[in-house]
Amino acid sequence: MPSKLREARQAELEAIRLDNDGILRAHDVVDYAQDHEDSAIREWFDWDDDSAAYHHRLNQARQLIHVYVRVEHVSLAPTRTYVSLESDRYERGTGGGYREIRDVLTDPVKRGELVAQALKEAGIWRSKYQHLDELARIFDAMDEEDAA
């Protein structure tokens, strides 16, 4: 994305936040984009109701798949039933999908991919929250694991 467009969108989001007691809410962003046809954020949205409704349902389906858990009788601990591997999302060109967690965990290649993906996501999480001293012990444990 060109930097001018990125900067314009960031400025509009900041203006929306400031206009709403310092809180940026999704519905305020949509309302602003809808009311300002020349805004930088307007083109981010799908304004065709049929298409937008379909894409909304796809996102709802992804959320449903993502949060579905099963209680295994062996441990009685809630476990994610499905996982999305990056290779399914990007390499196959099919728009992604979800795999049964048991299939991924029993396949050494897929399990390795899931571990690598988890470590990458942990690094992103760490970057996001690195300024919180309360999480220092977690970061130390992550450093120890990286060194191992």
pTM above 0.75, yes or no: no
Tell me, what's the pLDDT at 62?
Answer: 79
pLDDT digits (tens, 9 = 90+) for 55-67: 999 888 878 776 6
Residue keyed to tokens 């996501």: 121
Domain segments of the chain as ranges:
3-44, 100-148
pLDDT digits (tens, 9 = 90+) for 81-118: 778 888 877 765 566 777 888 888 999 999 999 999 99
pLDDT digits (tens, 9 = 90+) for 30-54: 999 999 999 999 999 999 999 999 9
Count CB neighbours of 27 within 10 A.
8
Residue keyed to tokens 């959320």: 63
